[in-house]
Structure 1
Amino acid sequence: MSDFSHSLSASASALRAQAARLRHVSENISNADTPGYRRKTVPFETVESSGKEMVRTGQVKLDRRDLTQIYDPGHPMADATGYYRGSNVDLMIEIADAREAQRSYEANLKMFDQTRQMSSSLMDLLRK
């Protein structure tokens, strides 16, 4: 039975990690037009806990790429030359990251459900 619990724990940790990743991607998308906003990235780390490998998110990091310079002399944040700093969020990258996180989440959810069904089937066989 311990293999089932290891599988469920690994799936659950991956579900939490992908949910955190999706949360940061959605923050990036919602702040794409916020002046001065830097894109957030979340690395994954493998952690060993009581002989089991788990996944967790590392410390959130800010993307260090340059912010875009936007020319709009009428903007309240514009400098003397008429430019202000926008965000460094690329919506195409964020949409691709969101899709990847969603698919990874669904795959881990399927693995969790399959493990649960196998465990239930085993219990049914043992009862007979």
Structure 2
Amino acid sequence: MSDFSKALTVSSSGLRAQATRLRHLSENISNADTPGYRRKTISFETMLSPRDGIAEVVPGRVRLDRAELEKIHDPSHPLADETGHYDGSNVDLLIELADAREAQRSYEANLKMFEQTRKMSSGLMELLRR
């Protein structure tokens, strides 16, 4: 396998991993007002490809944030207990937006690497044709 193919494999694994992370972040943001919703977090792991020995980034297990759920006082809510409280979510929109920005930047960096590798490969092929 050529170095260009290896670089494309590594950057595409980063693209897939960050896309998965963005999907979970968007689920967290969309469920920020859902009672009882727990924030999802995901970690990344390195996996050595058995066929070519390239280290790729893969998303790990999705975990639920075990932080305390917000107690909301609204006696008219159907989920409220006898004290008028119910469990909200543990999603902090500021944290989710910061994580989304980080994931977006990482996605863009992987995309740039992918594009540069493709351009270098095309340039090499052009030189070899001459």
| TM-score, normalised via structure 1 length | 0.98
User: Structure 1 residue 60: deviation in Å?
Assistant: 0.5
Report sequence identity in percent: 71
2:60 is the alignment partner of 1:58: yes
Amino acid at match of 1:60: V
In 1, Cα distance between the equivalents of 2:36 and 2:10?
37
In 1, Cα distance between the equivalents of 2:119 and 2:62?
35
Moved over 4 A (4+): none
In the other structure, the counterpart of 1:71 is 73
Unaligned runs of 5+ in 1: none
Amino acid at match of 2:59: T
User: Structure 1 residue 51: deviation in Å?
Assistant: 1.3
Unaligned runs of 5+ in 2: none
Q: What's the Cα RMSD here?
A: 0.7
In 2, Cα distance between the equivalents of 1:2 and 1:96?
37
In the other structure, the counterpart of 2:46 is 46
In the other structure, the counterpart of 1:125 is 127
User: Structure 1 residue 41: deviation in Å?
Assistant: 0.4
In the other structure, the counterpart of 2:91 is 89
Aligned length: 128
